[in-house]
Structure 1
Amino acid sequence: MFAISLGDDGAELRPLEPSHAEEYLAHIERGREYLGRYIGLADAAKDLDSARAFLQSYAEKAASDTGRIYGIWTDGKLVGGVLFRTMDVPQAVAEAGCWLEPAAVGRGLVTRAARVIIDWAVEERGIHRVEWLVAAANTPSIAVARRLGMTREGVLREYRIHHGARFDVEIWSVLAPEWRAHRDQLS
């Protein structure tokens, strides 16, 4: 398995695989309430079997080239991740997302990890458009979209139902030429 350094602080990005189910479940348990505020990720891993099934679904997406999931580790501990919830390679469109447990917030981990996977998608897989769908109230995730050089395209009003409540979803995106220009400015 490979690991990509996310900087001098020892953080690493690695594929998150079914064999990590126990570690993934422990990570979800540490941040279940925090993670569950805006996304259903915590709901998908209620026990070891469901955690393994969730990670297996992403292994199958990776095998069919329709999605990917990666964990963020700090000091050998899984603290969050980034993913391509969907990838449509023929259409060159992918939807990226992220999550982080509370103890790891505020260190730029998601931004650094998302840069790695977006660059891979654009340069290696030929993805032209990377989307970021985010609850309008999720200001930390919106801040990541901005740091990634994404453009806010609009709001899908009352688009999602989560824990019995409807909420607005903002659509952010970056196109391959914009991504390259943004990346080159950071270099």
Structure 2
Amino acid sequence: MLTTVLTDGAELRALEPWHAEEFLTHLDGIRDHLGQWLAWHDRVPDLAAARAWLVGFAEKQVRDEGRVFGVWVGGKLSGGVSFPSFSTATGICEVGVWLAPEVTGRGLVTLAVRHLIDWAVFERGIARVEWYSAVGNEPSIAVARRLGFTKEGVLRKHYPHGEVRHDMELWSVLADEWRARAVAQGK
């Protein structure tokens, strides 16, 4: 997957180590927004850390254990979707997302994640896709619902963020469910 058009003016493409400067600029512009729900952006305070974060995903990709993609809107990096974990041995992967506030509400995350899950299920044989969301992160939970994920439960005090351990909702969609949904939608 090199470039996938999501909508007019928005595309999904690999987020590579050579994007480190653009990635850091993007993060610096949305840190307060991301900080509501995510902690990983705190581990990317400068250009060296941005490059290391992206190299980490490139190394995961080489090992077939994860990937990261950027969402560009109007030519500007505006968010991303990833497989923080990906295992064909177990048939399980996790999808993660983030998006700049100025481009929310356009369905970009839903479209991008749909592409990732299609690839994981139809091309790679993944049997289960997981989605974690902090309790109360309604935009994230809404995307999981729109994509047909099922809430499996709450992982109490699962995610350390700042001085607090947050409860996380665990959602999943199974390959059989994803395939049935694709058939129902005529794909």
RMSD value over aligned CA atoms?
1.1
User: CA contact under 8 A between 1:35 and 1:41: conserved in structure 2?
Assistant: no
Name the SS for the 1:160 alignment partner: strand
Task: Tell me by how many angstroms 1:163 deviates.
Answer: 0.7
Equivalent residue runs for 1:10-29 within 5 Å: 10-29=9-28
In 1, Cα distance between the equivalents of 2:18 and 2:32?
24
The percentage of aligned residue pairs carrying the same residue is 53
Deviation at 1:2, TM superposition (A): 1.8
The TM-score, its normalising length taken from structure 1, stands at 0.96
Structure-2 separation of matches of 1:136 and 1:128? 25
Structure 2, unaligned runs of 5 or more: none
Q: State the alpha-carbon separation in 1 of the partners of residues 185 and 140 from structure 2.
A: 20
Count, aligned residues: 186
Q: Deviations over 1:99-125 (max 9, x none)?
A: 001111111110000000010000111
Match of 1:86 in 2: 85
CA apart distance, 1:88: 1.3
In structure 2, how many angstroms separate the alpha carbons of the residues matched to 1:185 and 1:76?
34
Shift of 1:23: 0.4
- Give the deviation of 1:185 after TM superposition: 3.3
Q: Which runs of 5+ in 1 are unaligned?
A: none
Counterpart position of 2:31: 32
Matched to 1:85, the amino acid is P
Can you list the C-alpha shifts for 1:13-55, whole angstroms capped at 9, x where unaligned?
A: 0000000000000110110110121112311210000000000
SS of residue matched to 1:38: coil
Relative to the length of structure 2, the TM-score reads: 0.96
Q: Which amino acid aligns with 2:102?
A: A
Q: Is the 8 A contact 1:67 1:87 kept in 2?
A: yes
